[in-house]
Amino acid sequence: MTGGDGRQNRPDRLIRGVIILAAFLLLPVFIPAFAWLHTLVPLPVIFLFADSGRRQAIRTVKTALLVAGGIAVVTGSLPGLLISCSMLPLGFYLAHSMGGRENFIRTAATGIVVLLACWAVLAVMYGVLYHLNPYAETIKALELAISATYDSYKEAANLSLDTLAELERAFAMMRQYVPVVMPAVFVMSSISAVWINLAAGNALLRKKDIDLVPWPEFNSWRLPEHLVWLVIASGVGILLPDSLLQHVSINTFLIMGTIYFFQGLAVLVSLFARWSIPRPFRIAIYAFILIQVYGFIFLAIAGLADVWIDFRKERPRAT
């Protein structure tokens, strides 16, 4: 993937790229409200490769890392910067894949593996530097948060004894299943991060130059049909008595649910475009889906049903 004009070596373009990438790396570290920027760190890398070419992009990334690293060392924020940096290899891989116009499914699958490998390396680094197990610490933090939430409900609300007993059982079940589903949580997080950067990168490059875009628009993305058998197999495995098989099946089911959620979202985007739904209504529906677990479930089911029904197929017009 190359930039393609004589301006690519201009100092102002280098400075602009360094500032933008350094901001993506550091803002989540210093401002908690910008923590979501961790996920989008690959985006400026993708754009730099498309805008300036490989050599200039690598130079810009190196300079931004030096600037961000210097600031992090001075302010004692290096651990937070490492989290941002763990997303950089994904940006390099997606830029390479887009430049080589690799298959979308292969790109997504490899991107997930790349990101999970980076997180594993980061966890090992934290374990060595701080003499702790990041995975165990994450589970412990979630269990403490669940206990604190239960205590706040119990103290703040005037609940009957029966309601309190049901609430206690529900929170006890949550504490029980947190360690079970943590592998799925990490994989689901990586799937979401890769999907967001693929979709946003595709849209970003489409605005810059349609010739740079390697894949069709998101609303036409489809999963291989044979993946549906993983959903069926994991659903059956959950019902079997073997505890290990149940745990594996639960994790697989959650992961596949996330994958089909994004296919369901592609269906929704396609239908919005076909029906010419006004943008404010689209934004309101997207926001509702994000804050409601039922929206996630509905789109996952829609994505799964699309394998057989094909909601995006153009229907013949009535004459």
Residue 84 lies in a domain: no
Q: Provide the whole-model pTM.
A: 0.88
Within 10 A of 186 (CB to CB), how many other CB atoms are there? 19
Length of the chain measured in residues: 319
User: Do residues 59 and 1 make contact, with C-beta atoms less than 8 angstroms apart?
Assistant: no
Residue owning tokens 């009957």: 160
Residue 234 lies in a domain: yes
Residue 288 lies in a domain: yes
Q: CA 188 to CA 191: how far, in whole Å?
A: 5
Q: Alpha helices, DSSP H only, in the chain?
A: 11-30, 42-52, 54-75, 78-85, 88-100, 104-130, 134-156, 161-208, 228-239, 243-275, 279-291, 293-309
Per-position pLDDT tens, the chain of length 319: 544 444 455 678 889 999 999 999 999 999 999 999 999 999 999 999 988 889 999 999 999 999 999 999 999 999 899 999 999 999 999 999 987 778 888 999 999 999 999 999 999 998 988 888 889 999 998 889 888 888 887 776 677 777 778 888 888 888 889 999 999 999 999 999 999 999 998 888 888 776 777 777 888 888 999 999 999 999 999 999 989 999 999 999 999 999 999 999 999 999 998 899 999 999 999 988 888 888 999 999 999 999 999 888 765 444 4
Q: CA 118 to CA 115: how far, in whole Å?
A: 5
Three-point CA angle 210, 205, 278, nearest 5°:
85
Backbone φ/ψ region at 276: left (φ over 0), alpha (ψ -120 to 50), beta: left
Range of the domain at 253: 216-319
Q: CA 264 to CA 259: how far, in whole Å?
A: 9
Q: Taking the alpha carbons of 123, 124, 130, 136 in that order, is the dihedral positive or negative? A: positive
Please give the tally of structural domains in the chain: 1
User: Do residues 224 and 105 make contact, with C-beta atoms less than 8 angstroms apart?
Assistant: yes
Q: CA 3 to CA 48: how far, in whole Å?
A: 8
Residue 311 lies in a domain: yes
Cβ-based neighbours of 282, under 8 Å, separated by 6 or more? 272
User: Do residues 181 and 254 make contact, with C-beta atoms less than 8 angstroms apart?
Assistant: yes
Backbone φ/ψ region at 101: left (φ over 0), alpha (ψ -120 to 50), beta: left
Cβ-based neighbours of 212, under 8 Å, separated by 6 or more? 1, 50, 98, 205, 206
Q: CA 51 to CA 27: how far, in whole Å?
A: 23
Residue 61 lies in a domain: no
User: Do residues 108 and 196 make contact, with C-beta atoms less than 8 angstroms apart?
Assistant: no
Residue 276 lies in a domain: yes
Residue 266 lies in a domain: yes
Residue 19 lies in a domain: no
